[in-house]
Amino acid sequence: MKTSNILANFQFVDNKVIDFSIQNSLLKSKDIAIKVDFDMDYEIVSCRQTETSHIGIVDFIVEITGNAEGKGSYKVYLKMRGLFIGSKNNLSIDKFEKMLEVNGTATLSQISRAYIISVTSLSGMHTINLPMVNIYSMKKNKDNSKVEASH
């Protein structure tokens, strides 16, 4: 099937790493038990219209801490930025912004996952594989946090 017939109205254009750091005090971490905590979030950096399309930027943020009791710890921080466009003819700006939150975040989560797998496996530490997350639940929790903060 020709992709021109099934092309989505929301498209990923590009991504880049905005911020990244690793702190690691573990040696020979392959055979030791490590308690790993993951924290993930996203931020809509911009969402605007041009004459022909919608343009949006999303940041996906990952913070990972690992602790091997008495043997050391590590921290990994990543902020991945993505650029997305949408059809102005087929999407309202509100619908596009919702797609940025869900589709954009989902796209960046998988790119971030691959990046962290690659970097950690090349950094002399055990490979960190981000868990898959429910983006709808992430959005709902974020929305609930905003409501609670406003009260």
Answer with the residue of higher pLDDT: 146 or 89: 89
pLDDT tens digits for 54-74?
999 999 999 999 998 878 899
Q: What total number of domains does the chain contain?
A: 1
Asked if the structure places residue 150 within a domain, the reply is no
pLDDT tens digits for 114-130?
999 999 999 888 889 99
- Three-state SS letters, 27-94: CCCCCCCCEEEEEEEEEEEEEEECCCEEEEEEEEEEEEEEEECCCEEEEEEEEEEEEEEEECCCCCHH
Asked if the structure places residue 3 within a domain, the reply is no
Asked if the structure places residue 151 within a domain, the reply is no
Mean pLDDT throughout 14-38? 88
Mean pLDDT throughout 22-44? 87
* pLDDT for residue 15: 98
Asked if the structure places residue 64 within a domain, the reply is yes
* pLDDT for residue 3: 86
Q: CATH no. for residue 23?
A: 3.10.420.10
